[in-house]
Amino acid sequence: MITTEAFQFKGRDGNLLDGRLERPRYGAPRAVAIFAHCFTCGKDSRAATFITRALAAQGVMVLRFDFAGLGGSGGDFSGFATQVSDLECAAQALRDEGHEPTLLVGHSLGGAAAIAAAGRIGSIRAVAAIGAPSDTDHVLRHLGDALEEVEVEGEAVVRIAGREFCVKKQFIEETRGQLQSDALENLGKALLILHSPTDELVGLDHARRNFEAAKHPKSFVALDGADHLLIDDRNARYAADVIAAWASRYIPTMDESAADKPFKGVVRVETAGGKFAQHVITPSHQFIADEPESFGGNDDGPTPYDLLLGALGTCTAMTIQMYARRKKIALDHVRVELEHSRDHAEDTKSDVEEGAERIEAIDKSIELKGDFTQEQHDRMIEISAKCPVHRTLMGDLHIHTTVVK
């Protein structure tokens, strides 16, 4: 339930930087974040794409962009200081569009840049660093013999992770000697460090030094079994889930005041965008209802009849479980499957016609598992029909419509 938009802005040196804005498809985002990719990776790397989209799916709008000289961004392959400044430029570009960033997420060297930039961006409340080195000299060691060539000749073509980059002396000068300890000690933001114990590129000692240098609030999460680049989507998804859950303590929630929420027993439905999508809001939950793609929707949520059948099914199962607990029946599992006899799309089309036939039948099957007698089984099936939703649907139901002007 996200959309991806092109987003370009000027970096520190005036170069046009190419980015992608991952937005929640419906409603206002609960927070705005910036993602800094790993050394030489780019905004379209597997980890950058997957993590930003996973965060967007949880309501966080995220900007990922190529640092200078990488991917679609102009300029020379940038050093650490330029990357930090470009994160500041990204924050300002978002503010110019009316989006105040509150979260920075960085991967590898991007994590170090996020930590360094956080103290310069006043709106940032929290920083998450994935596999970040404790000193930037660690990155220079990956240049090998080319490091000396760059310092003597002014530049050199370096092959890193199967790709060639033109590294200039400015990169070396900007990146060398940047310890994270000072930035961490004066961070003044909530910090989450995520690191794999088996990271072969940036060892776990880097995470330990970063964590020891930082002040509270700080947290550490081990990405067990993950490689440095988070190639496995499951590791990237886990990192995104952890970041979203952790950051919820420090970043704003959905822009909806408690006073504006429905009262207990009231459900509010509002248009959410798209052709059919609706935002369903209860006093404590929110979700999207939609139609399938075959009917012109985006299939971003259950259909109205899915919700109707779900209401009946959950109420049926709850009623059986409640009766079993009260009678101390050893009921282990309840499974309810429901099906309506007509297609909702056909029903919607026919409703506008005079005297159109509406859905009349719901088929319900119930499966009970546990250690109970046949008599107890039959009684639970009988009780299931007494669930409140079942009785409402079968009763003399009146729907009163009030027009609000």
132-158 pLDDT per residue, tens: 999 887 777 767 677 777 777 777 777
In a domain, 300, yes or no: yes
Q: Are residues 18 and 92 in the same domain?
A: yes
Tell which wins on pLDDT, 58 or 177: 58
pTM of the model: 0.67
Average confidence (pLDDT) over 83-105: 95
Reported as a single tens digit per residue, the pLDDT across 308-365 is 999 999 999 999 999 999 999 999 999 999 999 865 555 555 555 555 555 578 999 9
Peptide bond before 262: cis, by omega within 30 degrees of 0? no
Average confidence (pLDDT) over 191-210: 94
In a domain, 399, yes or no: no
Residue type, 230: L
Q: Are residues 322 and 204 in the same domain?
A: no
> Does the structure show a pLDDT above 80 at 19?
yes
Q: What angle do CA 239, 302, 364 make, to 5 degrees?
A: 120
Q: Report the percentage of the chain scoring pLDDT > 70.
A: 88
pLDDT at residue 258, rounded to an integer: 45
In a domain, 261, yes or no: no
Q: Residue 142's domain is classified under what CATH number?
A: 3.40.50.1820
In a domain, 119, yes or no: yes
pLDDT at residue 256, rounded to an integer: 45
Greatest Cα-to-Cα distance within the chain, rounded to the nearest angstrom: 90
Q: Are residues 315 and 167 in the same domain?
A: no
DSSP string, 306-370: HHHHHHHHHHHHHHHHHHHHHTT-EEEEEEEEEEESS-HHHHHHHHTSTTPPPP--EEEEEEEEE
pLDDT at residue 357, rounded to an integer: 55
Residue type, 63: L
Q: Are residues 279 and 229 in the same domain?
A: no
In a domain, 254, yes or no: no
Q: Are residues 186 and 329 in the same domain?
A: no
pLDDT at residue 87, rounded to an integer: 97
Using CA atoms, how far apart are residues 6 and 312, in angstroms rounded to an integer?
43
Reported as a single tens digit per residue, the pLDDT across 270-322 is 887 778 988 898 888 888 899 998 998 888 889 999 999 999 999 999 999 99
- Who's near 274: CB < 8 A, 6+ residues apart? 25, 26, 290, 297, 298, 300
Domain with 366, as residue range(s), is 268-394
Confidence band for 404, pLDDT divided at 50, 70 and 90: confident
In a domain, 99, yes or no: yes
Q: Are residues 192 and 97 in the same domain?
A: yes
Nearest CA to 202 out of 134, 115, 145 is that of: 134
Q: Residue 355's domain is classified under what CATH number?
A: 3.30.300.20
- What stretch of H or E contains 59? none
User: Helices (DSSP H) in 106-199: which residue ranges?
Assistant: 109-118, 137-140, 146-153, 169-175, 180-185
Reported as a single tens digit per residue, the pLDDT across 389-398 is 999 999 999 9
Q: Are residues 97 and 158 in the same domain?
A: yes
In a domain, 257, yes or no: no
Average confidence (pLDDT) over 177-181: 75
Within 10 angstroms of residue 217's Cβ, the number of other Cβ atoms is 13
Using CA atoms, how far apart are residues 21 and 215, in angstroms rounded to an integer?
31
Residue pair 269/287 in contact by the 8 Å Cβ criterion: no
Q: How many domains does the chain have?
A: 2
pLDDT at residue 41, rounded to an integer: 85
pLDDT at residue 173, rounded to an integer: 72
Q: Are residues 182 and 323 in the same domain?
A: no
Q: Are residues 228 and 101 in the same domain?
A: yes
Q: Are residues 218 and 317 in the same domain?
A: no
pLDDT at residue 69, rounded to an integer: 80
Using CA atoms, how far apart are residues 139 and 158, in angstroms rounded to an integer?
13
Nearest CA to 244 out of 276, 210, 212, 221 is that of: 221
In a domain, 402, yes or no: no
Q: Are residues 54 and 195 in the same domain?
A: yes
Reported as a single tens digit per residue, the pLDDT across 239-268 is 999 998 898 888 765 444 444 678 888 999
What the block records as the tokens of 221 is 């999460």
Q: Are residues 23 and 165 in the same domain?
A: yes
pLDDT at residue 349, rounded to an integer: 55
